[in-house]
Every structure is written in structure tokens, then in C-alpha cells.
Copies of this chain bind each other. A is one copy, B any other.
Amino acid sequence: MNGVPRSQQSKDAKKSAPLTRDAEATRSSILDSAEDEFAANGLLGARTEAIAAKTGVTKAMIYYYFQSKEQLYEAVLERAFLRRLQIAQSINLAAMSPDQALERCLRELLIDVSKNKNLSAIFFYEAVQNKGKYYNKFGAMSLYGVLAGILEQGVAKGNFRQLDPMHTAVNIVGASVFYFCTRENIKHLWAGKNLLSSDMVEWHIKEAIELIMNGVRASDG
């Protein structure tokens, strides 16, 4: 039974259990639990005791690895954004037409958000509750810049209709992530179905991309 902390050994493990006395695994495990807690309740509403309990360690461990609740939150954001950034940078958008670039960019965003169930809620809490205070350190807003750039080029080349790139970029992100953010609220529209199941996610991606691509395309394109 190596790999499970004493307080959780021989019990039903709640989450990815850290290795016994494995600093790196414990740290990572705290980050996992913290991500869940921050996604559910935001920085303000998150309880350090709840994070500790979910990890299977005592609250003191949080302060052993992270100096404060705030710094733990920043670490969660940083980890989530490094993942996103790696995905975004792996695509060579410059080589594509605006049409292809936008669709590829959207599909990548939607897949990423659907895979990491906490991403959309953390993103939203950070924007609404913290007003982007911690985000801006990680250059997270670059997504809008990338989208607006693609849209601007598309307008110039005549692929897209006369639209405002920045407003449209914001509205596109809204159309894409709203489904994930509010999934617990809207799921009864589909009779309580799990909106993160692969068929529902695929369906959303299809509908979102169709709405957006038709929405930006020039009518004579």
C-alpha cells in the first residue's frame, strides 16, 4: 500500500492519492484537490480544510508546501495555464487560412476545456470574482489577442464579413465556454445527462463551431 498517505490508507481514496512521504506527489495532489475546490467555490469561497481533507493530509501541509491560500491559488492557475499555453503554441496558425485557423483554434480550445473539467469555472471565477487580478500575471488574455488577430486577417482577406475583431473574439469565447461553465445548471435541459460525456461534448463542439463559423463568414464566401 505504498503511495497512499497514512490518513487515507485502507480507506476509499477520494482523489489521486499522493505517495507516502513523496514531496513532489503530495504537492501535486494538493494542487489537484485545490483545483477542484477553487473551481467549485472560487478563491474566496474555497476552504483550506476542505482541500486538505480531499487530499488526505492535514491543513498544515498546505502551508508547508504553499505559503498561503492565495499562493496556492496562484500555483493552481499557473499549472492550468502552462498546459493551455503549450497546446496553443503547438499549432502553426500562420500557415493556415483565416477560416482554417479559426476553426482549429476553437476546436483546440473546446477540447481543452472539455478535458479539464475545472478550467472553465476557474477561468470564470477569476474573471468575475477576482476581476482578472491573478490571471494577468500569466498572460492568459492572449487568447483574445490570437482570436482577434485571426478575425482581423479574415476580414481583410474577405473571408469574414465586416465585424469588429475584439468584440467578436469575446463573444466567440462566450459562446464556446458558457456551456461548460453552467453545465450543472443547464443539464436538466437534457434530462440531467452528464454534459461532459464524450457524445455530449462532441455535440456541443459541433454546434458551437457551426454557429461561430457561420456567424463570422462573409455571405458571399
Contact of B131 with A185 in the complex, beta carbons under 8 Å: yes
Q: Which of A101-151 contact B (CB under 8 A)?
A: 121, 124-129, 131-132, 135-136, 141, 144
Determine, out of A1-9, A18-26, A67-75, A201-209, the stretch whose residues face the partner at the interface.
Answer: A201-209
Q: Which of A156-209 contact B (CB under 8 A)?
A: 161, 163-164, 166-168, 170-179, 181-182, 184-186, 188-190, 203-204, 207-208
Quickly give the copy total for this chain: 2
For A44, list chain B residues within 8 Å (CB).
Answer: 41-42, 44-45
Contact of A166 with B189 in the complex, beta carbons under 8 Å: yes
For A132, list chain B residues within 8 Å (CB).
Answer: 184-186, 188
Known contacts A132-B184, A182-B127, A217-B214; A141 and B171 CB within 8 A of each other: no
Contact of A184 with B216 in the complex, beta carbons under 8 Å: no
A64 and B129 alpha carbons, distance in the complex (Å):
29
A184 and B141 alpha carbons, distance in the complex (Å):
13
A173 and B126 alpha carbons, distance in the complex (Å):
20
For A170, list chain B residues within 8 Å (CB).
Answer: 178-179, 182, 186, 189
- Minimum CB–CB distance for A103 against chain B, Å: 14
A175 and B106 alpha carbons, distance in the complex (Å):
14
A-B contact pairs, 10 of them (CB 8 A): A41-B44, A42-B129, A124-B124, A144-B186, A161-B210, A166-B190, A171-B207, A171-B211, A174-B178, A174-B179
